[in-house]
Structure 1
Amino acid sequence: MRLGIDIGGTKTDAVALDETGRLAQRIRLATGFGSAAVVETAVSAVSRLGELTGLAASGFESIGIGIPGLVDSTSGHVAHAVNLGLDRLELGGELAGRLGVGVRIENDVKAAALGAWHLMGLTGTLAYLNLGTGLAAGLVVDGRVWRGSRGIAGEIGHIPVDPNGALCACGQRGCLETVASGSGIARQWRTDDPLPVRALFAAAADGDEEARAIKARLAAGIASAVRVLVLTVDVETVVIGGGLSHLGDRLLCDVHEVLASWAQASPFLASLALPDRVRLVPEGSLAAAIGAALVGEN
């Protein structure tokens, strides 16, 4: 069995996959805040799944962890995971010392990309477009995560598309992330709703012109991300995941409409069949945790 853990800002999902890659066990824990608490959360997840499967940590074929932030998958070092209260943490080394076995650490979006590739039975190349608080993509080529020379392949959220746009957290202006992400929506649409994008879509449905304009910018930003991924990497499939993917077909239809309008104006883009390449990750699929289990041997 392979064990995978997806450590999120508030919750941690952990799974055990059997020898065929099927889900055998799953659990969910609250994620602790700070270095020590994150390590304890991971150790607890391994312990709980060990109880359910009857295996010690050393009995699993591999253990992998997906976590936000800048991750060195070789050393297991994690940096700048702000939502977890981490500045720098040698997570791989800490867990190896606690568990007595090696653990593979990977960025959560890259892990989710591998999980989506596996869950959806895809072949060839995949880009997993994660639309959460920020925007980033994970790339999979023939079943293996493609990290690039320094591990930042897929960080397309920080490609500037409007030099006069909003200031991005990265220090640039008008990045894709400023319009096509949860934080971008929250900045543009002030609301008491804990899910601003939900309030935005409701207001747009009621005819609010400002809401409709922001919603249109969101769809155009996501479509731009799809176009970038296809034009730079020529991926066969772009899978949309992350928190905004819960909007489902309401979001996907908007993106398809933008891509189709571009195709009408450009024979070149029409030849790329962009709308046909875009899909949603299956709802409730635990792609990141499953990908973490797979990345343990990737």
Structure 2
Amino acid sequence: MTTASAVRRSNARDCLLVLREAGRALTVAEIAAATGLSRPTVDAVLQDLGAAGAAIPAPVAASGAAGRPARHFSFEPSVSTIAALDIGARTVRCLVADAAGQVLTRAVVPLNDPDPFDALERAVRETGHMPGALGIAAPGILGPDGRITQSLAAPDLVGLDLSGELGRRLGCPVAVENDIKLAAFAEHHLGAETDSMLFVQLGNRISVAAILEGRILQGAHRLAGELGSQRGMRWTESSQRGRLRWSTGDEAEPLLDRAAHGDAAAQREIQEFCTQIAPRLATVLLTLDPARVVIGGGLSRAGDTLLDPLRRALDELLMTGQPTEVVAARLTTDGALVGALGLAFSYGSAQIFGIPDVPAPWPRLLDARA
């Protein structure tokens, strides 16, 4: 049974989204037409949004026509700021946007403080904005309580209550999620529309996350996609403790560049790499049956130099008769950061707008790419 309060929240959310997406002042009649609500209902909603600071009356130039001019209202982007942190092995990156999704500023600080919380807090404060909500992309496996249980990149963060402590220090709601899952979350909202996808992060390591029915696949213990947690698992014969190794050393870019320019030896090495990682990916594809595979991370910048041999390797393994759709991610380096920003919008919307579950302005967040 739908309660009256739920209806009011739904009406307020609809009006807020119309105002935010319009990017200009709208009349009460325009808002009513766009939402299908009555003008008295829209009037009541605008009073509530005005009290929360999310909607403001907009001045209208005199038209010279008889009668009172129509009242106009616009979304107020400065009602709050929203921040995201992406924690790396050596640095913490912060991204801040206004309530409309317009990027305001960035900051990068080293992760070398004796107290890790000091570095995380400083990354936010150095932007000069105190956020109304914060999302954190964490490099590791998260437990049911949201704390990191395992992390190769940031072992000092294991067991810490990132959400609770930073929420106390910054005075805002804080949501924490695995960085690869957040990169998948961002690609789901910014790429071609689909309810399911497998996201494969190819960088110094290989990581996997899945989106099913429009949501991050977590599993019973938040371990979905954590293939590296299988004892003895190696993606390739040359990888060491999960870190990829190439004939060019730790960096694949020189190899991919040579392959793109027709170097046969480099092309064979890329093909062999794809042949070695394809069996595990094929198993996941047959288990989940997603609509597409999205390749992110630094290696995805190689485009078809990498994607074509991966497509061939997968299609040789799968007896489904359907070619595997493998595409490059839209975000190569900022996926987790943008995903954390989107998470902060939805998680903190009750505090930001006075309305729960307001979705992030995803199209504008695409402009957050560095």
TM-score (norm 2): 0.62
AA partner of residue 127 (structure 1): L
- Inter-partner Cα distance in structure 1 for 2:302 and 2:114: 33
- In structure 2, the CA distance between the partners of 1:157 and 1:239, relative to structure 1 (3 Å rule), is farther
Residue number in structure 2 paired with 1:67: 138
2:232 matched to 1:172? yes
Which structure has the larger Rg over C-alpha atoms? Answer: 2
AA partner of residue 108 (structure 2): L
- Inter-partner Cα distance in structure 2 for 1:141 and 1:101: 30
- Inter-partner Cα distance in structure 2 for 1:219 and 1:26: 38
Residue number in structure 1 paired with 2:152: 82
Residue number in structure 2 paired with 1:198: 253
Q: Give yes or no for contact 2:270–2:306 (8 Å, CA) kept in 1.
A: no
Residue number in structure 2 paired with 1:135: 206
SS of 2:336's equivalent in the other structure is helix
- Inter-partner Cα distance in structure 2 for 1:146 and 1:217: 30
2:272 alignment partner, one of 214, 217, 226:
217
Q: Give yes or no for contact 2:149–2:159 (8 Å, CA) kept in 1.
A: yes
Q: Which runs of 5+ in 1 are unaligned?
A: 159-169
2:342 matched to 1:294? yes
Query: What does 1:105-144 correspond to in 2, within 5 Å?
Result: 105-144=176-215
2:320 matched to 1:240? no
2:84 matched to 1:4? yes
Query: What does 1:176-191 correspond to in 2, within 5 Å?
Result: 176=235, 185-186=244-245, 189=247, 191=249
Q: Which runs of 5+ in 2 are unaligned?
A: 1-80, 348-370
Q: Give yes or no for contact 1:4–1:14 (8 Å, CA) kept in 2.
A: yes
Shift of 1:92: 2.0
Residue number in structure 1 paired with 2:50: none
TM-score (norm 1): 0.75
2:283 matched to 1:228? yes
Residue number in structure 2 paired with 1:166: none
Aligned residue-pair number: 263
- In structure 2, the CA distance between the partners of 1:143 and 1:6, relative to structure 1 (3 Å rule), is farther
Instruction: Write the deviation string for residues 253-276 of structure 1: whole angstroms up to 9, x where unpaired.
Output: 22123234446xx3x2x23x31xx
Residue number in structure 2 paired with 1:250: 305
Instruction: Write the deviation string for residues 208-259 of structure 1: whole angstroms up to 9, x where unpaired.
Output: 3xx5554222112343344233211111122111232232221112212323
Residue number in structure 2 paired with 1:163: none
Shift of 1:32: 0.5
Shift of 1:66: 0.5
Q: Give yes or no for contact 2:180–2:207 (8 Å, CA) kept in 1.
A: yes
Shift of 1:26: 4.1
Q: Give yes or no for contact 1:5–1:292 (8 Å, CA) kept in 2.
A: yes
2:106 matched to 1:27? yes
- Inter-partner Cα distance in structure 2 for 1:178 and 1:118: 35
- In structure 2, the CA distance between the partners of 1:189 and 1:220, relative to structure 1 (3 Å rule), is same
- The Cα RMSD (Å) is 3.0
Residue number in structure 1 paired with 2:121: 43
- Inter-partner Cα distance in structure 2 for 1:102 and 1:254: 44
AA partner of residue 134 (structure 1): R
- In structure 2, the CA distance between the partners of 1:245 and 1:23, relative to structure 1 (3 Å rule), is farther
- In structure 2, the CA distance between the partners of 1:202 and 1:294, relative to structure 1 (3 Å rule), is closer
Q: Give yes or no for contact 2:271–2:310 (8 Å, CA) kept in 1.
A: no
Instruction: Write the deviation string for residues 101-135 of structure 1: whole angstroms up to 9, x where unpaired.
Output: 33111111111111111222533112211123322
Shift of 1:147: 0.8
- Inter-partner Cα distance in structure 1 for 2:214 and 2:122: 29
Shift of 1:23: 4.3
Larger relative CO (CA 8 A, sep 6+): 1 or 2?
1
Q: Give yes or no for contact 1:63–1:103 (8 Å, CA) kept in 2.
A: yes
Q: Give yes or no for contact 1:131–1:243 (8 Å, CA) kept in 2.
A: yes
Residue number in structure 1 paired with 2:225: 154
SS of 2:160's equivalent in the other structure is strand
